Structure 1
């Protein structure tokens, strides 16, 4: 799958943060996030804002190694004032997008992953916000849907993360090394949004195609993405599981990464 344009990712960091701000506006910031039960809604929002600023600092300084948290100018709102949190989220997203635009997609910087470029951080921060916007919307009980391009990219990036984890001997991901069993994701509302995933002995592989698999997950693309990221239960009536449901559960349990 081709990546989205660098500028699109920069725009989405800001747009999705605006949606997150709207989702939590007027909500109980002390409410527990069902999909991240160790966090309150305020803590979820602060996590997103800190992640943006951390990535932005790596890009801005052209860091050759990870930046320690205490070196990141978070300017945390430090109060229970919802307006201060709202402005802090907006500023962090805008500043990070500006740093990414200034750097362009091909500047070499430290990342924890397979791609050591500023383009990695643009994509990663956009998708980080895609997923945590879902957490916020679920907690605040407001509607959530994602554009097809971003929902598909979120699925694709997660597959890349799983394969990267396998190649670096992650204990959970290593349990997905297998004998060729297959999973099929089939979006019912987005032509071409299908993935055939094989659990191979050397690591997972996948292709964008329709095919028979040991288990198939069917439903709207946003909902497939939410199941894949463990934000929607696979037994939800919004999706359909055909075949070996235990294999899908096995996959989900071993792609939580803590």
Structure 2
């Protein structure tokens, strides 16, 4: 279940892009992005802006199949980007996508890469795609990444949902190797607002990949600030115990789950 409204997702796509633009002002965009090997910050921005425009075209045309010629996968031509050029270009694409999503509403029928087939998928996905790539750029430039609590909670939920889709067994057969007796993972976010449910249980003990919001014992537990947990789950941080992150139990199971669960 989505935690945010369709309008909030549309607004967040723009807000996250604006925050990203402000973080690169005067920056050296040739700095490598460790969480996106082979890209520098400028190339990352081109990838994200191209993805915004690709999604906008799908929603605007109500595409019944994936559009060919998705741009900015080959980023070899974008090694020396100027913040004064790429920043406005990025926010322009984000605003265009948000406007198109607003006009479509959440229930427009169109192609999506996962079951569902509505524009709501792109509103949610590109909220979190933009936020996580903002984290990639922010951390690469040596700055601190923060994220609104509601957005971060929904981002974790979305990743859990995407990572548990049955289609993974067909697309990535090795995902089945995750299943086994006693294989459970618990994620517990600390420092959230009073009364906020911020715990997730990943259950790999049955015939399917499953998850739920729950406080339960598990083979491995990861405890720490919400944003740090988000970055670990999205494989932007290593789940190293110590500091603000605590890993209890079967750390190898955690590494195995992170290795095998992905989307995209």
Which of residues 237, 241, 261 is equivalent to 1:255? 261
Moved more, 43-52 or 148-157: 148-157
- State the secondary structure of the residue aligned to 1:242: strand
- Hey, what does 2:43 align to over in structure 1? 43
- For 1:211 and 1:71, the matched residues in 2 are separated by 44
1:126-141 aligned within 5 A: 126-141=127-142
Change (3 A) 1:253 1:5: same
Taking a change above 3 Å as real, the CA distance of residues 33 and 14 of structure 1, as seen in their structure-2 partners, is same
SS of alignment partner, residue 64 of structure 2: coil
How much has 1:199 moved relative to structure 2?
0.5
Q: CA deviation digits over 1:189-231, x for unaligned, max 9?
A: 1231001110033222122111111100000111111111111
Confirm or deny that 1:199 pairs with 2:204.
yes
Task: Please give the per-residue CA displacement for 1:81-120, whole angstroms capped at 9, x wherever unaligned.
Answer: 3211111001100000000000000000101012200011
Find the aligned partners of 1:122 and 1:70 in 2 and give their Cα distance.
18
Q: Could you say which residue in structure 2 is the equivalent of 1:219?
A: 224
SS in 2 for 1:186: strand
User: Which residue number in structure 1 is paired with residue 252 of structure 2?
Assistant: 246
Moved more, 30-39 or 172-181: 172-181
Residue 175 (1) aligns with residue 174 (2): no
Q: Secondary structure at the match of 1:213?
A: coil
Matched residue, 1:229: 234
Paired position in structure 1 for 2:100: 99
In structure 1, what is the Cα distance between the partners aligned to 2:35 and 2:70? 27
Q: Distance in 2 between matches of 1:238 and 1:53?
A: 37
Q: CA deviation at 1:69?
A: 2.1
Instruction: Give the SS at the match of 1:101.
Output: helix
Q: Render the CA deviation track for 1:45-91: whole Å, top value 9, x for unaligned.
A: 1111011111000000110010112699xxxx977332111110011
Deviations 1:119-169 (A, max 9, x none): 110001101011111101111111111111111111111112222243434
Corresponding position: 1:55 with 2:58: no
Gaps in structure 1 of 5+ consecutive residues:
none
| CA RMSD, Structure 1 to Structure 2 (Å) | 2.0
| 51-60 vs 166-175, greater mean Cα deviation | 166-175
Contact 1:13 1:129 in 2 (8 A): yes
- Aligned pairs for 1:70-81 (under 5 A) are 80-81=81-82
Contact 1:172 1:257 in 2 (8 A): no
